Chains A and B, each alone.
Chain A
Amino acid sequence: MAREYKPRVVTANDLFEGDTVYFTASQSWSRDHAEAIVAWSQDAAETLLAAAETQQDKVVGPYLAETVMDEHNRPQPVHFREVFRTRGPSNYFHGKQAGA
C-alpha cells in the first residue's frame, strides 16, 4: 500500500555561503522557510525537486523535507533537524536566528 503523502518543501545549502535555503514559487531560493513552495502531491514533489536540481550553480544537495502549515498558512519545518536548520546552532546565537 502506498504510504500517505505528506506535504514537502525543497531545501538545500547555498553554494557560496553554505547556509540553508528553500526553493520558492518563482524557482529561486529564499533563506526563509516560510517562503518555500509546498508540494502537495508526490508528483509535484518530484517535479519540484527535478527543477531544483537543475540549479547546481546556486545550491548544493537539494532534497525534500516534510512541512506543515502554520496558522498564517505558511510552511513550517516538521523534523527537529529541519527546525534547527531554520535557526542555527543552540550553543551560540549564530546563523539564521541572528539574522546572518
Chain B
Amino acid sequence: MYIYNNFDEAFVRNRVAEFRDQVQRRIDGSLTEDEFKPLRLKNGLYLQLHAYMLRVAIPYGTLNSAQMRQLALIAERFDKGYGHFTTRQNIQFNWPRLKDVPEILDLLADVGMHAIQTSGNCIRNVTADHFAGAAADEIEDPRPTAELLRQWSTDHPEFQYLPRKFKIAITGSPNDRAVTKAHDIGLRMLRNEAGEPGYEVIVGGGLGRTPMVGKIVRAFLPKADLLPYLEAILQVYNVSGRRDNKYKARIKILVHETGLDEIKEQIEAAFERQKRDFAGPSADLVAEIEAAFAPPVFDNARSLAFEQAQADDAGFRAFVETNVAEHKNPAYGIVSVSLKPVGGTPGDATADQMRVLADLAERYGHDELRISHEQNVILPHVRKADIPALHQQLREAGLATANIGLVSDIIACPGMDYCALATARSIPVAQEISRRFDELKLERDIGPLKIKISGCINACGHHHVGHIGILGLDKAGRENYQITLGGDGTESAAIGERTGPGFDAEDLVPAIETIIETYLELREDASETFLAAYRRLGAEPFKQAIHGDRGGRARAA
C-alpha cells in the first residue's frame, strides 16, 4: 500500500504541532470558540451531543494491520473501547477529551494517518470501491487514482475555500460498489472501443436535502486527462457555484440550474485551457504511486479445503454464500466481515475486535484490510484454502455474522445517539429491525435487501439509495420516520420514493415488516429481488399495505 513519503510525513507532523498549539491556546483562553472552531474542524474534531468526536480519514478505505492496531489502541486509551466506521470510509471516535486530541493525532501520524480534510468546504477523503485491487470484475485498481487525487487535492490552494464540501468517489469496476452517482464527482472505470481503460465522469450527484443522481458529463475520459479534467470541473464550480445560499451551494444545484449541456460546454472549455498549462502529474509520480499499490504475490497452490468445509459445515456454507465474493485470482476469495451482529450498532468495532481483524489480516490476508461505505470490514485477499480457518477465528471473536447484503446488514448513521445535527435516532431502529428479522428467521428467504437509515436530512446513512430507506425526523417533539422505497446506490442508481406520511418509532418496524411481507407475497419467485419486484410493481402495493387499511392510517402520523 501507499507509504507516506517525507513530504507527507513532515506535512502531517507540522499540522499536528500546529493543532497542539491551537488546542493549548483554546484551553488557556487565548482563542475564542469562534476562532477555534474552524481550526478544530479542519483537524476532524467535532463537538457532538455528549462529547467531542474525532473523525479520522481512511483514504480509499485501505488499512494495514499496524494501522488497525493503532486504531484499537486509540479506542482503548481515549475512547470507551470501540470505534465507529462510517459510510464515508472514516472512523469516528466518540469520546475524546479536548486536551488528548493532539496526542491521538500524533499516534495516527505514527502509522501514516490523519484527520485532515474530513471537514470543511474542501475536497474530502476520496472514497473507493472496497473491493479495489481484488474484485473479479475490476478493470484496474482505482486506488492509485484515488491516491493521486488525495495528493493533488490536499491543501491545494485553489480548492481550500470551495462554495461547499466536495466529495469524490471512484470505482475501478463497471459494477459500482462506491455509490459514485451520489457524489459531487463520481468516476467509474470502463474501457473504450479500443480496449483502453478510462473513466466515465459523473457530476452533481448527492443526497441530503436535495437528492440527485449524478449526470454523466464525459462518457469516456482517457486516464491521462483525469487531473486537468477534474481541475476544469472544480474551476467551473469555484466560479459559478452558489455561495449565497448554503443549501444551494453544492455542485449538484449548479448542474441542475445550469443544465447538463451548458455545464458540459463550460467544463470542456475550461479543460481546453487547463490542458495547455497542466498536462497532469509526472510519469514518475504516477509510476511511483502505481508501484505502491502493486498486488501482493498470490499463492496459487490448489486445495479442496474450501469446498470440503462447505460440504461439511452448513454454517460455513451460509457464510460463504453471503460474505465471500469472487476474487480476480480463482485461488482467492474476498471476505467481508460484518459489523452488524444481531442487535448491534452498525459499524462499531471494539478494540479487541480490531486487533483480531489486524491479526487475521496479517496471518491470512497479505496484511490488507478495507473499510466499506456499508460499514463493514473486508479482508480483500484470502486464499480460499484459508477461509475455513479464518471463519473459525472470526466465529470465536463474534465476527462471523453471515448477513452481507441481507436485511440485517443495515447502514445507519450515528443519529441522535451522538450527532448534534440529528433530528431523531437511527441506531435503535437498526437494532430493532435486525432483532425482529432474526426472530422471524426470514432473512435468507428475503434475499438481497439494503436498508439504510439516516437521523436527519443530511443523509449520511444514504437512506435515499436504500432499497428501503428510513429518515428520522422531529415531528412536533416526537421521533417520526419517513420510509422511502426503491432507492439504488449502484450503476443503476435511483432515489427512493416516499411512501406517504411517516411513522412513530413504535409503528416503524411493523411497517417495515409489512413492506417485506408484501414483497414476499408478490414476488414472482425467490430469484426476483426486492428491488426488481419493486421496479416491476411500483410503489402502490407497498403503500396500500402500510397505509391502506384504516388502522394503518390512524397509526401513521
Q: Which residues of A contact B (CB under 8 A)?
A: 13, 15-20, 56-57, 60-61, 78-81, 84-85, 88-92, 94-96
Contact = CB atoms under 8 A, between A and B. Distances in A.
Contact of B47 (A13, A85, A88, A91): A13
Contacts of A84: 49, 416-417, 425
Given A61-B33, A80-B477, A80-B478, A18 B47 contact: yes
A34 B417 CA distance: 21
The secondary structure that dominates the A interface is loop
Nearest to A88: B50
Given A60-B33, A80-B478, A90 B427 contact: yes
List the 7 shortest-distance A-B pairs measured between CB atoms, nearest first.
A89-B417, A18-B52, A18-B51, A57-B29, A95-B50, A91-B345, A91-B427
Contacts of A17: 51, 97-98
Interface in B330-371: 345, 348
B418 A89 contact: yes
B449 to A, nearest CB: 23
A90 B32 CA distance: 32
Interface string B426-442: 01100100000000000
B95 A16 contact: no
A95 B431 CA distance: 20
B154 interface: no
Contacts of A95: 50-51
B36 to A, nearest CB: 9
Nearest to B30: A57
B292 interface: no
Given A18-B48, A19-B50, A56-B33, A94 B427 contact: no
B444 interface: no
Contacts of A61: 33, 47
A71 to B, nearest CB: 21
Contacts of B51: 17-19, 95
Contacts of B291: none
A19 B52 CA distance: 8
Contacts of B141: none
